[in-house]
Amino acid sequence: MDIKLGDRIESVDGFRGWVRYVGEVAGRREREWYGIEWDEEKRGKHDGIYDGYRYFECRREGSFGSFVKPKMISGRQTLGDAVMEKYSLRKENITGSLVVSKPVELDQLTLCSGQDL
């Protein structure tokens, strides 16, 4: 999986966040770590500082960051996926709405300037 700074990820336990750091963490045996700023406010334990050194900065104020190993990331979420998830109409989000449409002939349309088509 090719994960880069700024990517959206999902952890193996279903939490989502932004990749804010990719690289080594001093004093840790594993060579590759991801610094994640979680969407969930209660998820992280810090704000990108580990053992007195700042590796990344969370954009929101608070402690929403974690360092995770690559095996703890289940996948990437593209910007398009994130937009669709946030703004797409889902059946569970629609309550009591009814949309009715009918065909309209082109000769019945009027341009904004008042000229008929």
The 10s digit of each residue's pLDDT in 89-99 is 665 555 665 66
**Rounded alpha-carbon distances, angstroms, from residue 62 to 3, 12, 40, 43, 55:** 24, 23, 11, 11, 15
Contact 49, 55 (CB under 8 A): yes
**Token digits of residue 34:** 């991801």
Q: Is residue 7 pLDDT above 60, yes or no? A: yes
Report the predicted TM-score, pTM, of the whole model to 2 decimal places.
0.68
* Distance in angstroms (rounded) separating the CA atoms of residues 110 and 117: 6
Q: List phi, psi (to 5°) of 36.
A: -115, 130
Q: What domains are defined for the chain?
A: 8-93 (2.30.30.190)
pLDDT tens-digit profile of 14-37? 999 999 999 999 988 889 999 999
**pLDDT of the residue at 92:** 57
Radius of gyration of the chain (CA): 23
Amino acid (one-letter) located at 32: E
User: Chain-wide mean pLDDT for the chain?
Assistant: 82
